A and B are shown apart, each in its own frame.
Chain A
Amino acid sequence: MSRLSFARTFVRVVLLSVSLVSGLFAPALARAESLKMAVTTSFNNSGLSDILLPEIKKDLGLDVQLLIVGTGQALRLGQAGDVDAVLVHSRAAEEAFLAAGYGTHRREIMYNDFVLIGPKSDPAGIAGAKTAVEALKKIAAAKVPFVSRGDDSGTNKKELSLWKSAGMDSSGFGSWYRAVGAGMGASLNTASGMNAYIMSDRASWLKFANKGDLKLLYAGDPVLFNQYAFIPVNPKLHPQVKTDLVAKLETWLTSEKAEKIINDYKINGEKLFVFNAKR
């Protein structure tokens, strides 16, 4: 009796797992076309992808699978051929990527901007700064806590380049400078917890739900503009790359429809992105 019932239970469990597993692969088979694109955390955090992807699916019948990583890792994924295209924002790194032959070309799509966030009391007094560099100099002079992404992302690269413009080397900073080695959201969480200054893209900041005592203190310097570019991975190096689909996607992203969606996208009534692709 018990042996029988056990056998029956066992068979049931096996059948259940088999059906679960087959259920797992069935949708993947049913899906006609998909491609993988590495995008930056800031792009995904903006929420724009949640609007763009369903439209792409509707117009092209294409599933764009997003790998959300920092710019550094996004380019590594492209270099290894693990994705079909990248959408990133760090011009110098993108050009090095193209120069090495990992991508076919670079197509600018849109830009948003970086902002400086800090405690409401603004102990370093950056709110009145004239330029972004001046604001950073004030933070360094006051030695107030500053959280850096420290993850080789586009945002991180931009921040480091600004310190350089200010004539300072971030590796020589004292303990007030905290490189956390994390994504934008996690870094914002850290800054919120420590009540520290941090540089963020505007979209991540607006979407961020755990603001605590933090406030947007400085923005607007053109040096803080953040250009997003689309780079298809080179099919000569990686023949499995879905070049046709990538080309379709690029055409769509630079279309008038995409322009409208991107320019109209707002969080809390604030416009985030400016479409600037050349057709």
Chain B
Amino acid sequence: MSDIFNGLAAAFWLIVTLDANLVEISLRSLQVTLSALAIACVFAFPLGTWLAVQRFRLRRTAIATLNALMGLPPVVVGLVVYILLSRSGPFGVLGLLFTPTAMIIAQVIIITPLVASITHQAMRDLWAEYHDLLISLKTTKMQRIRTLIWDGRRTLLTAALAGFGRAIGEVGAIMIVGGNIDHATRVLTTAIALETGKGDFALALGLGFVLIALALAVSIVSHWLSQTEREGRW
């Protein structure tokens, strides 16, 4: 009980004093996660939409695979990325291991299936609504995908938000590929793991509350954006 109270107090002080370390770590968390999210969305939105629009023989298999990939254990993703990026691995020459780029790569792999799968579900419904019209208008595949992405952008925001939530709270993979280096690859989740390791539960909890607040803030902002978007709508 006193641990929680101390945690709250620690979080409070960290925030009101704008602790330089906390700001740096939080910004890095946001940078890594938002970069990974942006890249993941570039792949996942068209992929999920394409799966909703295109009929092909292995479509069901592809969707099932996508859903299965949502459950990829981050630790395993981290390990595989680590082995690939290690100096003794195939992409070692790039020297990316233990850099924020490596963390972004791992997170892209973790969240792309999730975002694509949610996109697919949302787009399947919109496609059912639009199907006859878009077929009648002789749209090309590309035009259909673009129309669906544009008109379904609000649900895509939800998909992106789910991806953000998974990425920002992830620790297993980025700990392995980032190395939790102070001032280089330390983010909120790995810092929490570190402070827990030191037995400093108050600071760990404090960072944890900051993490939760960050996730909430992003969620509220996107919700607010979609509200604005809904004004003057049905």
**A contact residues vs B (CB 8 Å cutoff):** 1-2, 5-6, 9, 14, 17, 20-21, 23-25, 28, 34, 36, 41, 45, 53, 63, 65-68, 79-82, 183-186, 188-189, 192, 207-211, 238, 240
5 contacts between A and B (CB under 8 A): A2-B231, A53-B182, A63-B184, A65-B181, A82-B87
Most chain-A CB neighbours within 10 Å: which of B100, B184, B228?
A: B184
| CA gap between A185 and B198 in the complex, in Å | 5
Report yes or no: A21 in contact with B31, Cβ–Cβ below 8 A. yes
List chain B residues, Cβ under 8 A from A53. 182
List chain B residues, Cβ under 8 A from A14. 38
Quick one: which of B35, B181, B201, B228 contacts A67, CB cutoff 8 A? Answer: B181
List chain A residues, Cβ under 8 A from B214. none
Q: Which of B184-233 contact A (CB under 8 A)?
A: 184, 194, 196-202, 225, 228-229, 231-233
Contact of B27 with A by CB under 8 A: yes
Closest 10 CB pairs of A and B: A185-B197, A81-B87, A210-B199, A24-B31, A80-B88, A209-B199, A65-B181, A67-B179, A208-B199, A21-B35
Q: How large is the interface on B (under 10, 10 to 19, 20 to 34, 35 or more residues)?
A: 35 or more
Q: A5-B228, A41-B197 are in contact. Are A238 and B87 (CB under 8 A)?
A: yes
Most chain-A CB neighbours within 10 Å: which of B32, B179, B199?
A: B199
Contact of B158 with A by CB under 8 A: no
Report yes or no: B196 in contact with A66, Cβ–Cβ below 8 A. no
Contact of B97 with A by CB under 8 A: yes
| CA gap between A55 and B92 in the complex, in Å | 31
Contact of B57 with A by CB under 8 A: no
Report yes or no: B233 in contact with A23, Cβ–Cβ below 8 A. no
Contact of B121 with A by CB under 8 A: no
Report yes or no: B180 in contact with A68, Cβ–Cβ below 8 A. yes
Q: A9-B225, A238-B87 are in contact. Are A23 and B27 (CB under 8 A)?
A: yes
| CA gap between A117 and B86 in the complex, in Å | 37
| CA gap between A205 and B180 in the complex, in Å | 22
List chain A residues, Cβ under 8 A from B98. 36, 65, 67, 82
| CA gap between A192 and B144 in the complex, in Å | 60
Name B200's closest neighbour in chain A (CB-CB).
A209
Contact of B95 with A by CB under 8 A: yes
Report yes or no: A186 in contact with B100, Cβ–Cβ below 8 A. no
| CA gap between A14 and B42 in the complex, in Å | 12
Name A53's closest neighbour in chain B (CB-CB).
B182
| CA gap between A209 and B10 in the complex, in Å | 15
List chain A residues, Cβ under 8 A from B181. 36, 65-67
Contact of B153 with A by CB under 8 A: yes
Report yes or no: B199 in contact with A65, Cβ–Cβ below 8 A. no
Report yes or no: B232 in contact with A209, Cβ–Cβ below 8 A. no
Q: Distance (Å) between the CB of B230 and the closest chain A CB?
A: 9
Report yes or no: A186 in contact with B87, Cβ–Cβ below 8 A. no
Given contacts A9-B225, A65-B181, A80-B89, 7 further A-B contacts (CB under 8 A): A2-B229, A17-B34, A20-B30, A23-B27, A25-B100, A67-B98, A82-B86
| CA gap between A80 and B98 in the complex, in Å | 13
Contact of B28 with A by CB under 8 A: yes
Report yes or no: A24 in contact with B199, Cβ–Cβ below 8 A. no
Report yes or no: A207 in contact with B198, Cβ–Cβ below 8 A. yes
| CA gap between A77 and B34 in the complex, in Å | 29
| CA gap between A233 and B95 in the complex, in Å | 15
Contact of B183 with A by CB under 8 A: yes
Q: A65-B181, A66-B181, A81-B87 are in contact. Are A24 and B28 (CB under 8 A)?
A: yes
Q: Which of B110-142 contact A (CB under 8 A)?
A: none
| CA gap between A189 and B35 in the complex, in Å | 35
Name A187's closest neighbour in chain B (CB-CB).
B197
Q: Distance (Å) between the CB of A200 and the closest chain B CB?
A: 11
List chain B residues, Cβ under 8 A from A186. 196-197
List chain B residues, Cβ under 8 A from A188. 199
Report yes or no: A24 in contact with B32, Cβ–Cβ below 8 A. yes
Name B181's closest neighbour in chain A (CB-CB).
A65
List chain B residues, Cβ under 8 A from A66. 181-182
Most chain-B CB neighbours within 10 Å: which of A20, A25, A63, A207?
A: A20
List chain A residues, Cβ under 8 A from B34. 17, 20-21
Quick one: which of A24, A80, A184 contacts B197, CB cutoff 8 A? Answer: A184
| CA gap between A188 and B89 in the complex, in Å | 34
Q: Distance (Å) between the CB of B32 and the closest chain A CB?
A: 7
Q: Distance (Å) between the CB of A268 and the closest chain B CB?
A: 15
Q: Distance (Å) between the CB of A197 and the closest chain B CB?
A: 17
| CA gap between A36 and B201 in the complex, in Å | 28
Name B182's closest neighbour in chain A (CB-CB).
A66
